[in-house]
Amino acid sequence: MTALAAVALAGCTRGVTSTYGDAPNLEGWVADVKTRPAPPLDPLPIMQQFETFEYAAHGLRDPFSNAFTDRDGSNGLRPDSDRRKQTLEQFPLDTLDMVGTLGQGSGTVALVMAPDKVTYRVSPGAYMGQSDGRVTGVFEDRIELVELVSDGAGGWLERPASLALEDQ
């Protein structure tokens, strides 16, 4: 057993010395590479000269000021903050579905299903949607209303909208 272990160890040490035997070869290659001259570098790009610009619009309106400060912005339209909100005003208009009508002529009442799966009766003068939408007309195939939307300058604009009967 001892002889077998000695032969195995002798084989291992021989393999190790052969691996390190290549070290002088490697050192010679590294020395050869270090003696070679470095390749030339590309020249630096030439920086372009840009034309300068002087802002000379001192007499014009400042682009960073509020353009609507001179305008009153009130065209008489304004949401009624004292009015009690109706149930259908808590839902966006595009989430409401017209599902039918009751009655005929000027007494027509629309049936509107809200996202809470409750059907509400809507007649002219009622409010629905989150933009102060006032119902102006109820027809067999649609509900017409007028919404108040901000014009971005402190005023309000009327925007027509409608809610069509869903085809089943």
Q: What is the pLDDT of residues 60-84, one digit of tens each?
A: 877 777 655 445 555 577 888 888 9
Which pLDDT does position 9 carry in this prediction?
Answer: 64
Predicted TM-score of the model (pTM)? 0.54
In this predicted model, what pLDDT tens digit does every residue of 102-126 receive, in sequence order?
988 778 899 999 999 999 999 999 9
Q: Which residue has the higher pLDDT, 114 or 23?
A: 114
Classified by CATH at the fold level, domain 87-164 comes out as SH3 type barrels. (2.30.30)
Question: Average of pLDDT values for 27-44?
Answer: 90
Query: Is 3 a residue whose pLDDT tops 80?
Result: no
DSSP collapsed to 3 states, the chain: CHHHHHHHHHHHHHHHHHHHCCHHHHHHHHHHHHHCCCCCCCCCCCCCCCCCCCCCCCCCCCCCCCCCCCCCCCCCCCCCCCCCCCHHHHCCHHHCEEEEEECCHHHCEEEEECCCCCEEEECCCCEECCCCEEEEEECCCEEEEEEEEECCCCCEEEEEEEEEECCC
Strand partners, 109: 102
Q: Which residue has the higher pLDDT, 154 or 88?
A: 88
Which pLDDT does position 18 carry in this prediction?
Answer: 46
In this predicted model, what pLDDT tens digit does every residue of 114-165 receive, in sequence order?
999 999 999 999 999 999 999 999 998 999 999 998 888 778 889 999 999 8
* Domain extent listing, the chain: 87-164
Query: Is 17 a residue whose pLDDT tops 60?
Result: no
Q: Which residue has the higher pLDDT, 154 or 31?
A: 31
Spatial distance between the Cα atoms of 120 and 127, rounded to a whole number of angstroms: 12
Query: Is 16 a residue whose pLDDT tops 80?
Result: no
Which pLDDT does position 125 carry in this prediction?
Answer: 92
Which pLDDT does position 11 carry in this prediction?
Answer: 60
Q: How many CB atoms lie within 10 A of CB 39?
A: 6
Question: Average of pLDDT values for 75-95?
Answer: 87
